[in-house]
């Protein structure tokens, strides 16, 4: 058997084969451009394996078959995206995320919600996992039993494809999760693997005894300690299997190229249903190596790049969004045009909450100064909160520079957001509190975390402030649908046995008809938050300075004020946000680098900066200024 080896020979023979087989000229062009890269990545990942080259050839074949089957409209979209690869970097991009069942009952309900999505201005819709998964607890669908079947309670794959078309016609790109670190224990591959069926034994990481699991656990982290200690769970037959998250989510073994091939097939299948962005779930965990944390290993990047190369051949218009909720240095390591073009920005998210709790904007300001820049052709996805918990992922070394000790600070933030600290306005709930390590995270809806549930006077302003930051720092703002009408925590999960053990359900409320009706009734929090956020969204959409990611930190000289400039043609937008509980003055000298005549974009009123500026408690201003 020929083995993979560095160098162009193996690739040229594969390309020659494509030519001889009269492959479609566009596919051939994609392969000529991306196959050498895929070959190189395969050599680095699987060069030692006798089946590496054979697998590479079948992956190429998969990409070709998938391209041939790709609907014409999607090929047209691919061409459009290839000619404007920065299509997602403009000021009109706005994301929304929701659970299909909780938000709309099913896929039909989502289709019926399109007019509302348009009213909001969405251009991107992330539907939470909607695939077939185990009954009862399925980690909110993050345990996938089939990537090709939609959970029958929500609809069918045909409906999903039709929805993707309808959304696209409405100017909205469909985003779904690609949960590729693990499958559910009910997936066909999982059943075959534990039955020892030929070809599947190596799809997962199964060990006969505790020897290797014990060795790995010397350096791995417990992710869901409420579910099981450590990284492995025991099978009925006494063996041990790798399960980073829940015991029913079994990690795939990417050291086996057959797993790569199988998952590349699932990815291309989803691409051909009309999905435009794949949210790459749990990217940090996909490669394991004894003696390491088994997180963010170099091979994890090679794998993502290899999946990326497959896409560029079979469905070139797609984007990858990285979900890496880890140290900020690691988060950015996944972001590049060749790997994941867009990424959650967990640092900005967490530090927005940190600033609101401490009433001190310096840590967030520092992050904007030094951790916001990204490579060309990529973008942040800025969110105020997700369906998950908030992990305090700031770098201890950054905090230390401001005299903050990371460990007690995280404890303070956890206490604050679950309402245990003095002066807390928050009504969050602890998630995965680990008494052994002192580790914990926090979960809650934006309105409940920001003080609306507790009746704090600043609650609504904080909701607006947090969104104003997500809408203005640069990238794709992502709204958790329901937050725009200030939906509160939903404690009903405690009555449902399959949810009671996972407090993240508290921040996944069902869509509230009442609050959506109230949004036009001026005297409710829903209406006030909705009208203020809608205004911000409208302003963002018509503010070209908000496109792209360029940001210049601006020192407002007030600890509670986060401030930066978004440069544009001739003008810049100055963003000022006061996380403090009292009004502050920005003095005239601080603002003297800009002409005194400015425009408040939100109120459309002129502003005179010559005598300084008052910023209200929890106030935000978006000012168009001319730099002198």
Residues 283/242, Cβ–Cβ less than 8 Å: no
Residues 243/232, Cβ–Cβ less than 8 Å: yes
Q: How far apart are CA 546 and CA 89, in angstroms?
A: 9
Binding mask 135-154 for ligand GLC (x = CB under 6 A): ----xx-x------------
Q: Which of 304, 266, 311 is nearest to 287 (CA)?
A: 304
Q: How far apart are CA 508 and CA 501, in angstroms?
A: 14
Interface with ligand GLC (CB under 6 A), residue from 282, 340, 469, 607: 282
β-strand partners of 620: 577
The footprint of ligand GLC on this chain (CB under 6 A) covers a number of residues equal to 9
DSSP string, 173-219: EEEEEE--SEEETTSHHHHHHHTT-TTTTTSB-EESSSHHHHHHHTT
Q: According to the binding rule CB under 6 A, does residue 250 interact with ligand GLC?
A: no
Q: Measured from the CB atom, is 140 or 475 closer to ligand GLC? A: 140
Q: According to the binding rule CB under 6 A, does residue 295 interact with ligand GLC?
A: no
Q: Which of 369, 536, 541, 385 is nearest to 461 (CA)?
A: 536
Binding mask 321-340 for ligand GLC (x = CB under 6 A): --x-----------------
For the beta carbon of residue 424, count every other beta carbon within 10 angstroms: 17
DSSP string, 549-598: S--EE---S-TTEEEEEEE-SS-EEEEEEE-SSS-EEE-TTTTTTB-SEE
User: Which member of 251, 323, 354, 389 is catalytic?
Assistant: 323
Q: Which of 291, 307, 199, 193 is nearest to 243 (CA)?
A: 193
**Can you tell me whether residue 444 is helix, strand or coil?**
coil
Q: How far is the CB of 285 from ligand GLC (least distance, A)?
A: 9
| Torsion on CA atoms 454, 458, 460, 465, rounded to nearest 10 | -130
DSSP string, 390-407: BP----HHHHHHTT--HH
Element (H or E) spanning 266, and its range?
helix 257-272
Q: How far is the CB of 214 from ligand GLC (least distance, A)?
A: 24
Catalytic site residue 538? Answer: no
Residues 147/176, Cβ–Cβ less than 8 Å: no
Q: How far is the CB of 279 from ligand GLC (least distance, A)?
A: 8
Using N-to-C axis directions, what is the helix angle for 9-20 and 52-69, rounded to 10°?
Answer: 40
Q: Measured from the CB atom, is 140 or 213 closer to ligand GLC? A: 140
Catalytic site residue 323? Answer: yes
Q: According to the binding rule CB under 6 A, does residue 179 interact with ligand GLC?
A: yes
Residues 474/549, Cβ–Cβ less than 8 Å: yes
Q: Measured from the CB atom, is 91 or 251 closer to ligand GLC? A: 251
The region that residue 105 occupies, defined by phi over 0 for left and psi between -120 and 50 for alpha, beta otherwise, is left
Q: According to the binding rule CB under 6 A, does residue 88 interact with ligand GLC?
A: no
User: Which member of 281, 439, 484, 518 is catalytic?
Assistant: 281
Interface with ligand GLC (CB under 6 A), residue from 388, 453, 499, 545: 388
In this structure, what token pair is assigned to residue 493? Answer: 């999960």
Q: According to the binding rule CB under 6 A, does residue 245 interact with ligand GLC?
A: yes
Structure-token match 């799809």, residue found? 203
Which residue minimizes CB distance to ligand GLC? 142
Q: How far apart are CA 528 and CA 522, in angstroms?
A: 6
Q: How far is the CB of 176 from ligand GLC (least distance, A)?
A: 13
Q: According to the binding rule CB under 6 A, does residue 281 interact with ligand GLC?
A: yes
Q: According to the binding rule CB under 6 A, does residue 439 interact with ligand GLC?
A: no
Give catalytic residue positions: 281, 323
Q: Which residues bind ligand GLC (CB under 6 A)?
A: 139-140, 142, 179, 245, 281-282, 323, 388
């Amino acid at each position: 058997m020929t083995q993979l080896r560095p160098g162009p020979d193996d690739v040229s023979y594969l390309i020659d084969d494509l030519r001889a087989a009269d492959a479609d000229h566009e596919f051939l062009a994609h392969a000529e451009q991306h196959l050498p890269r895929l070959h190189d990545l395969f050599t680095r990942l699987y060069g030692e394996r006798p089946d590496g080259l054979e697998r590479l050839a079948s992956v190429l074949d998969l990409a070709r078959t998938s391209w041939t089957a790709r609907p014409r409209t999607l090929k047209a979209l691919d061409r459009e995206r290839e000619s404007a690869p920065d299509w997602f970097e403009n000021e009109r991009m706005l994301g929304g995320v929701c659970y299909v069942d909780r938000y709309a009952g099913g896929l039909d309900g989502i289709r019926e919600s399109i007019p509302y999505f348009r009213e909001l201005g969405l251009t991107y819709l992330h539907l939470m996992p909607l695939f077939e998964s185990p009954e009862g607890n399925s980690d909110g669908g993050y345990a996938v039993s089939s990537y090709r079947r939609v959970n029958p309670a929500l609809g069918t794959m045909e409906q999903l494809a039709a929805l993707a078309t309808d959304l696209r016609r409405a100017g909205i790109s469909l985003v779904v999760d690609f949960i590729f670190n693990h499958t559910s224990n009910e997936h066909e591959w999982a059943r075959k693997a534990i039955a020892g069926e030929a070809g599947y034994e190596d799809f997962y990481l199964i060990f006969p005894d505790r020897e290797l699991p014990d060795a790995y656990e010397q350096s791995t982290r417990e992710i869901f300690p409420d579910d099981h200690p450590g990284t492995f769970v025991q099978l009925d037959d006494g063996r041990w299997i790798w399960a980073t998250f829940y015991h029913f989510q079994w990690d795939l073994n990417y050291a086996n190229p057959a797993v790569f091939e199988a998952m590349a097939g699932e990815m291309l299948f989803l691409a051909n249903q009309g999905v435009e962005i794949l949210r790459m779930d749990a990217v940090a965990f996909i490669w394991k190596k004894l003696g390491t944390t088994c997180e963010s290993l170099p091979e994890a990047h090679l794998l993502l790049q290899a999946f990326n190369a497959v896409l560029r051949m079979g469905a070139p218009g797609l984007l990858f969004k990285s979900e890496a909720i880890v140290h900020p240095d690691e988060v950015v390591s996944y972001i590049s045009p060749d790997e994941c073009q867009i990424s959650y920005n967990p640092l900005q998210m967490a530090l927005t909450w940190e600033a609101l709790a401490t009433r001190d904007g310096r840590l967030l300001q520092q992050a904007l100064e030094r951790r916001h820049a990204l490579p060309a052709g990529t973008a942040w996805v800025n969110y105020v909160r997700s369906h998950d918990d908030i992990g305090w992922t700031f770098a201890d070394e950054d905090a230390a520079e401001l005299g903050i000790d990371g460990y007690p600070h995280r404890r303070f933030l956890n206490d604050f957001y679950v309402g245990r600290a003095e002066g807390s306005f928050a009504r969050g709930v602890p998630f995965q509190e680990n008494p052994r390590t002192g580790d914990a995270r926090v979960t809650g809806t934006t309105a409940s975390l920001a003080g609306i549930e507790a009746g704090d006077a600043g609650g609504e302003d904080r909701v607006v402030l947090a969104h104003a930051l997500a809408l203005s720092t640069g990238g794709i703002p992502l709204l958790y649908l329901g937050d725009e009408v200030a939906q509160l925590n939903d404690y009903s999960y405690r009555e449902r046995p399959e949810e009671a053990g996972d407090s993240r359900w508290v921040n996944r409320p069902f869509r509230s008809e009442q609050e959506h009706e109230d949004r036009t009734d001026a005297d409710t929090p829903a209406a006030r938050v909705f009208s203020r956020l809608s205004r911000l969204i409208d302003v963002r959409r018509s503010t070209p300075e908000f496109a792209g990611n360029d940001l210049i930190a601006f020192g407002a000289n007030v600890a509670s004020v986060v401030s930066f400039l978004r440069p544009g043609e001739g003008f810049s937008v100055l963003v000022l946000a006061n996380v403090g509980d009292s009004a502050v003055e920005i003095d005239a000298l601080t603002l003297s680098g800009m002409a005194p005549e400015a425009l408040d974009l939100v109120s459309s009123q002129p502003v005179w900066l010559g005598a300084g500026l008052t910023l209200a408690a929890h106030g935000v201003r978006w000012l168009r200024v001319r730099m002198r």
